[in-house]
A and B are shown apart, each in its own frame.
Chain A
Amino acid sequence: MSTRTLPLLFINLGGEMLYILDQRLRAQNIPADKAKKGRWQLIYTRELMKQELFKPQELYSKKALRTVFDRLAHASIMRLNQASMDKLYDLMTMAFKYQVLLCPRPKDILLVSFNHMDAIRDFVKDTPGILSQVDETNKQLIEIYTPLSGGEFQLIRQTLLIFFQDMHIRVSIFLKDKVQNSNGRFVLPTSGPVPYGTHIPGLIRIFSCSGEELRRMQFRDGGNYSATLREGSFEMYGDRVIKLGTNMYSVSRPVETHMSGTSKNSSQHTKVNTTPNPLAKEELNLLARLMGGLEVQKSTNTDSGFRVNLFATDEEEEEALISRPDELSYEVISIQATKDKQTNAALAKIMGEFGETSEPAPSSSSKGDDLLAMMDGL
C-alpha cells in the first residue's frame, strides 16, 4: 500500500501522546513550572521530527511502532509503568483512528496533521532550536503531501485503516461525548456539513444529447446534511477549520480506557509475518537512527525522574496490568543482542541498553532540588 503513510502516523500519534501526557501531568498536580522545566515536550518533539521518517517506506508493524513509542516515552526523565504505557498507547491509537475515520475527505488527514503540528509548535515555541525543527518538518509535510491527489490520499487513508483494523478499545472521553458506542465502534453521523468538494445529496439532473439540462428532480436522502464549510488552510500557518487533531483533553476531562468490548477477531495474527525476527532489517536500522542520540535517562535513585500514571491511583494501575486481556497485549519487543547485530556502533550501544528491562522502581511524585537540577541539565 502507500509508502507515504509512516510520517503521518508518527506525527499524529506523537501529537496525541503529547496531549495526553500534558493532561496527566496537570491532573497529577505536578507543578506547572516543574512540568515545563521538565522539557519533556522538547525532547519528544525533537525525536518526533526526525527526517528519516520521510523517505518512502512500508508501514511499520504494530509491534515495531509500539517499540519506538515506548522508547520515546522514556526519553525524558518521565517514567511510565507498563500498564500506563499500554493505556497511553491505546488512547493515542484510538484517537488517531477516530480522526482518520471521521475525516470528511481523505485529504483532510493532512489538516488533522497540521492541527497536531500547530499544537506541537505551541509547546516548543520558546525554544528556537526545536522550533526550527518543527518548522522544517512542517515544510516537508507541505512539500510532500499537498501535491497528492484525492485518490492518493484515499490510498494513504486505506493503509492507515489497515493498521487500525479491528481495534475497538473503549475510551471514556469518547463514550462520554457519545462519539463511540459501548461496543467500541465509532459513531458516524449522517448529518452535518458535507466534505469540501461534495454536494449535499438529493439532486438528480437529466441532460439532453446536446448538453442542456432537461429537468431536475430531488430525492429524499434520509440524512440531515448541510453545506460544506470553507476549506482549511494547507499553509504553514492558517485556520485548519477541521477540529479533528486539536487537543480534546483538559484537566476536567480525564483519560480512561476500558479493556473490554474488543472485536472477537484478534488482530494479532491476521497479517502473517513469516520472518522469524520480529523487526525487519530496515525497521531496525531506522530504529537505530531514531534512537541514536537519544539519551536514555536511567534512574540512578528513586528521587530522579517523575512518574506519570495514566490511571487515577497506583492500585488501579496495578490492577490494569494484571487484568489486561491477552489479545490486547502489544508484545513489545525487547531487542536482544543476537547474531543479526549490526556492526554499527550506535546500534550496538543502543541494543546493549535495551536488554531485559525491569520495572523501574516506582517513585513518588517529583520533589526536591535534585530534580530541578537534573531537569536543568537536560
Chain B
Amino acid sequence: ISKMYHKEKSIHMKSSASSLYNSLSVLRIAPRCLNCFTVVHANVVNMVSASWDGLNYSHRQLQSKEGNVATSSSLIMQAALCVLPSRDLLVLTSQKGIQMYESDGSIMVYWHALDTPETPTAKVVFARGIAAVREKYICVGVSSGSVLVFDVPGKGSNIILSEVLEEHKEAITDMASECSGNLECIADLVSADDSGLLCVWKSGEDFHLLNKIPGFDTCCSSVNLWNGTVIAGYGTGQIRLYEGVTGILHAEVNAQARWIYSLDFAPFTGLEREELCLISAAEDSWVRVWHVSLTPETNSVEIEHMYNECVTDTQICGAKFCDGDGYAFAVTSYDLSEIIRYTQA
C-alpha cells in the first residue's frame, strides 16, 4: 500500500507548543503564496509565515497583553486567525480577556476584559473558542458558558460587543462557523462545551438558537460545521456527525484511543454530493484522514477512513489543512518546537 501523505521538512518555532485544544491556526495568504501559522506557548504566540513549499519562513513572537499593559504573564488559551470578507484578524483568548490584532500581529485593534475576580476562585475564568461568522461577527466563548458576539467593521478598531449568548452552563471548548457559502444553510455557528453540549445558532442582529444537542457528559473539544453538518470530536476519542438543525446523528466513529484535540476539514465539491477530507488528531499520537460525503437529496452522510499517520511519542494538539483541497496538512504537538508538515505523495 503506498503512503497517501509523506512528511516534509518541518518548520521550526522559537518555542514549543503548549497542550491546548485546537492549538494550530493556519491562514493561507494566496497572493503571496504563504501560509501563516500560529501556535501558543504559555503567554506567547509563535507566528510563522512560511512559503508553500515550506523552505522560506520568518518568525514573530507575540506576547499576551492586557489592555494597555505592555506584557502580561496571563496564559493564552487559544489563538486563531479569523477570516472575514473584508479583513483578517488574529484573535487571542486568555485568562484575562480577548485581544484582537491585525493578522500579522503588528497592531492590537481591540481589547475586551473578562470579569476576573480579585482573588482566585475555584471556578476559573478564561476565554476559549473562536469563530468568524458570516460577514462581520467574531464570536468568542467564555469559561462560564457564555458566547460573546463582537461586531467587526470592515476596517479600523471600532469593534463592539453586540450580544452575549447564554445557553451553555459549562466552559466553552471550541466554536465553528459555516463557511460553505451555501445560502440554503440556516445554521451559521456551532458552539461546544465541557459537557459535550452542542448549540447551533443562526447569526444576525440577534443570534437565534436553532438547536441544542446534548453531550452525555463527554467533553467535546473540537467542532466543525459544513453544509449544516456538525462534526464533533470528543475526549473519549469519538467523532460524531450530526445534522445541526435537527440533531439527527448521522455517524459515530471510535476514532482515537485518547482525547481528541483537533478536527479540521478541506471541502471539495463532487457532482451530486458534497465531499470533504476530514483530519482528526489526538493525544494518542495519531493523525487520521477521513473521507466524508453528504448527499442532500437523501439526507445521508457517509464517512470512511483514508489514512493514518503516527507522530511518534507526541501528544498532538493541533492539526490543520494548509490549503483548500487537502493536499497538505500541518501538525503541532505538546513540547515540540516544530510544525510538522505532510503533503500528498
Q: Which residues of A contact B (CB under 8 A)?
A: 1-4, 56-58, 101, 104-106, 144, 149-152, 154-155, 157-158, 161-162, 165-166, 168, 181, 185-188, 190, 194-195, 197-207, 209, 211, 217, 219-223, 225, 263-265, 270-274
Interface residues of B in 35-56 (CB under 8 A from A): 41-44
Interface 9-residue window, one of B105-113, B248-256, B270-278, B321-329: B248-256
Q: When chains A and B are docked, how far (Å) is the Cα of A199 from the Cα of B286?
A: 15
Residue B158 interfacial (CB < 8 Å) = no
* Chain A residue at minimal CB-CB distance from B143: A155
Closest chain-B Cβ to A65's Cβ sits at a distance in Å of: 16
Contacts known (A3-B124, A161-B19); A204 close to B170, Cβ less than 8 A: no
B236 and A3: CB pair below 8 A?
Answer: no
- Partner of A217 from the list B75, B171, B304 (CB cut-off 8 Å) is B304
Interface residues of B in 253-285 (CB under 8 A from A): 253-259, 284-285
A151 and B337: CB pair below 8 A?
Answer: no
A274 and B71: CB pair below 8 A?
Answer: yes
Total of A-B residue pairs, C-beta within 8 Å: 176
Residue B201 interfacial (CB < 8 Å) = no
Residue B222 interfacial (CB < 8 Å) = no
Residue B173 interfacial (CB < 8 Å) = yes
- Partner of B308 from the list A161, A220, A263 (CB cut-off 8 Å) is A220
Q: Using Cβ atoms and an 8 Å threshold, which residues of chain A touch B236?
A: 195, 197-199
B308 and A222: CB pair below 8 A?
Answer: yes
Contacts known (A151-B219, A217-B304); A222 close to B251, Cβ less than 8 A: no
Residue B177 interfacial (CB < 8 Å) = no
Q: Using Cβ atoms and an 8 Å threshold, which residues of chain A touch B304?
A: 204, 217, 219
| A-B contact list, 27 entries, CB within 8 Å | A1-B75, A3-B122, A56-B120, A104-B258, A144-B122, A150-B194, A151-B170, A151-B171, A151-B195, A154-B235, A165-B16, A166-B335, A188-B285, A190-B257, A194-B257, A195-B257, A195-B258, A197-B236, A198-B257, A198-B258, A200-B257, A201-B237, A223-B257, A223-B284, A263-B16, A271-B43, A274-B73
B195 and A149: CB pair below 8 A?
Answer: yes
Which interface residue of B124, B193, B248, B285 has the most chain A CB atoms within 10 A?
Answer: B124
Q: When chains A and B are docked, how far (Å) is the Cα of A299 from the Cα of B52?
A: 65
Closest chain-A Cβ to B263's Cβ sits at a distance in Å of: 15
Q: When chains A and B are docked, how far (Å) is the Cα of A154 from the Cα of B315?
A: 13
* Chain B residue at minimal CB-CB distance from A275: B73
B194 and A263: CB pair below 8 A?
Answer: no
Q: Using Cβ atoms and an 8 Å threshold, which residues of chain B touch A104?
A: 258
* Chain A residue at minimal CB-CB distance from B251: A206
- Inter-chain pairs besides A106-B259, A203-B253, 16 sampled, C-beta below 8 Å: A3-B124, A56-B120, A149-B194, A151-B221, A154-B219, A162-B19, A165-B18, A188-B314, A194-B237, A194-B257, A199-B236, A209-B248, A221-B286, A263-B16, A263-B335, A272-B44
A185 and B284: CB pair below 8 A?
Answer: no
Residue B63 interfacial (CB < 8 Å) = yes
Q: Using Cβ atoms and an 8 Å threshold, which residues of chain B touch A272?
A: 43-44, 63, 71, 73
Residue B203 interfacial (CB < 8 Å) = no
- Partner of B194 from the list A2, A152, A197, A206 (CB cut-off 8 Å) is A152
Q: When chains A and B are docked, how far (Å) is the Cα of A181 from the Cα of B253?
A: 33
Interface string of B282-301 (1 = CB under 8 A from A): 00111010000000000101
Residue B115 interfacial (CB < 8 Å) = no
Interface string of B227-261 (1 = CB under 8 A from A): 00000000111100000000011111111111100
Residue B6 interfacial (CB < 8 Å) = no
Chain B binding surface SS class: loop
Closest chain-B Cβ to A275's Cβ sits at a distance in Å of: 9
Q: When chains A and B are docked, how far (Å) is the Cα of A190 from the Cα of B283?
A: 10
Interface residues of B in 311-335 (CB under 8 A from A): 312-315, 334-335
- Interface size class for chain B? 35 or more
A206 and B301: CB pair below 8 A?
Answer: yes
Q: Using Cβ atoms and an 8 Å threshold, which residues of chain A touch B43?
A: 271-272
Q: When chains A and B are docked, how far (Å) is the Cα of A374 from the Cα of B121?
A: 44
Q: Using Cβ atoms and an 8 Å threshold, which residues of chain A touch B237?
A: 194, 198-199, 201
Q: When chains A and B are docked, how far (Å) is the Cα of A124 from the Cα of B334?
A: 38
Residue B15 interfacial (CB < 8 Å) = yes
Interface residues of B in 52-72 (CB under 8 A from A): 63, 71
Q: When chains A and B are docked, how far (Å) is the Cα of A221 from the Cα of B195?
A: 27
- Partner of A150 from the list B63, B218, B258 (CB cut-off 8 Å) is B218
Q: Using Cβ atoms and an 8 Å threshold, which residues of chain B touch A4?
A: 122
Q: Using Cβ atoms and an 8 Å threshold, which residues of chain B touch A101?
A: 315
Q: Using Cβ atoms and an 8 Å threshold, which residues of chain A touch B314?
A: 188
A207 and B249: CB pair below 8 A?
Answer: yes
Q: When chains A and B are docked, how far (Å) is the Cα of A101 from the Cα of B252?
A: 27
* Chain B residue at minimal CB-CB distance from A185: B313
Residue B137 interfacial (CB < 8 Å) = no
A162 and B301: CB pair below 8 A?
Answer: no
A151 and B285: CB pair below 8 A?
Answer: no
Residue B305 interfacial (CB < 8 Å) = yes
